[in-house]
Amino acid sequence: MKLSLKTAVFLAVIIIGSLSEGATAAMKESTFHLPETVGVWSRPDSAQIIDATNIFAYMNGAGELYLGYRFDHIEVSEYTAEDQPAIVVEVYFMETSDDAFGLLSLDWGGEPVTFGESSVSDATGPIVPASKALYGGGLLRMWSDTLYARIMADRETPASKEAVLALGRAIAAGRENPLEPEFLHVLPHTIDSDWVLRPDRIGYFRSYMVLNSFYYLSHQNILNLDHATEAVTAPYEKTLDTGERTRVHMVCVKYATSEQARQALEHFHNAYVPEHAYDLAADSMTAHSNFFKIEDGWLGYRVNGAYLALVFECPDQESARMILNHVQF
């Protein structure tokens, strides 16, 4: 998503204005310490601190993706060595493990890496790829409890790869190994044995701008998303008799209250399908579904209490209905 300077400044004002006091607090002393040396590389004594007040100066055009989660600050350290590529370490401090997971879910590409994490069990099994770290082309991205980290070598060499992975192990050492966000389990692995979830395309988010990086809906916040909401999006694929694959896109949101879910649905309906009358009574306490034929296929939505599910680009109304009926809330 490319942003003009004017748009980036406008978004920065909106996002920073919506952050809690804790997320916009002044610079703080580091409570996390990377090793001073790794192989032949060494770092300065102190890290650069990035928070909501200077993130747009630090990263051009991507700050809104990080502020879209409950973000506190980033600690940036650069490791250097003579005649070796520089290695930059960014450690993101998030409010919860779920927020750190959300940053990893922005991109599932790369070679899975493990750092000897203790095993955790979940009766329903993991939804997303099991690895908490991904490496490729000199870049390691990892989720470690409430931390998310990016470790980047300017140029990949066998030695720089070894150093990058060693720094990843140092970050993960001694930290908790929590489960993926519970809300992901609203997504069934399969639907009626035909539609299959793409786990490597699952995105967990709280911001409409992050949603747009997964599946574009609108330049406005038509689902009323904020830091109090939880949301997940993923495609489902089906192989047709011709051997071709067709795909639909699911978006599920959990709001703080059922009233907020219904307000969000009304806002979405009026913005996305304004040509159709909105027929859900404000005081309705029962689950409600609706379906519409639009330009790129069938759209369906279902609201139930504080939960809202939407499915896009369905081949027909019955597919949209069946898919929504399998959402697990």
What Å distances lie between residue 293 and 52, 139, 268, 275, CA to CA? 41, 43, 16, 11
Highest mean pLDDT, choosing among 5-9, 12-16, 176-180, 211-215: 211-215
Structure tokens of 73? Answer: 């600050």
117: pLDDT confidence band, cut at 50, 70 and 90? low
What Å distances lie between residue 126 and 145, 188, 199, 312, 325, CA to CA? 16, 11, 9, 24, 21
Tens-digit pLDDT profile for residues 230-289: 999 999 999 988 878 899 999 999 999 999 999 999 999 999 999 998 877 665 667 889
User: What pLDDT does 2 receive?
Assistant: 40
Amino acid at 81: A
Q: Which class does domain 182-325 fall in?
A: alpha beta
| Residue-averaged pLDDT of the chain | 87
Tens-digit pLDDT profile for residues 274-305: 999 887 766 566 788 999 999 999 999 999 99
Q: Whole-angstrom Cα distance, residue 94 to residue 78?
A: 21
User: What pLDDT does 130 receive?
Assistant: 77
In degrees to the nearest 10, what's the CA dihedral of 254, 102, 24, 36?
Answer: 160
Q: What is this structure's pTM?
A: 0.86
Tens-digit pLDDT profile for residues 43-52: 999 999 999 9
Helix/strand/coil percentages in the chain, nearest 5 = 25, 30, 45
User: What pLDDT does 298 receive?
Assistant: 97
Reply yes or no on whether the pLDDT at 154 is more than 90. Answer: yes
Domain ranges of the chain: 5-172, 182-325
User: What pLDDT does 1 receive?
Assistant: 38
Q: Whole-angstrom Cα distance, residue 151 to residue 272?
A: 40
Based on its alpha-carbon atoms, the radius of gyration of the chain, rounded to whole angstroms, reads: 21
What Å distances lie between residue 153 and 46, 63, 68, 178, 209, CA to CA? 19, 21, 26, 28, 28
User: What pLDDT does 278 receive?
Assistant: 86
Q: Whole-angstrom Cα distance, residue 141 to residue 226?
A: 25
Among 20-34, 54-68, 124-138, the least confident range: 20-34
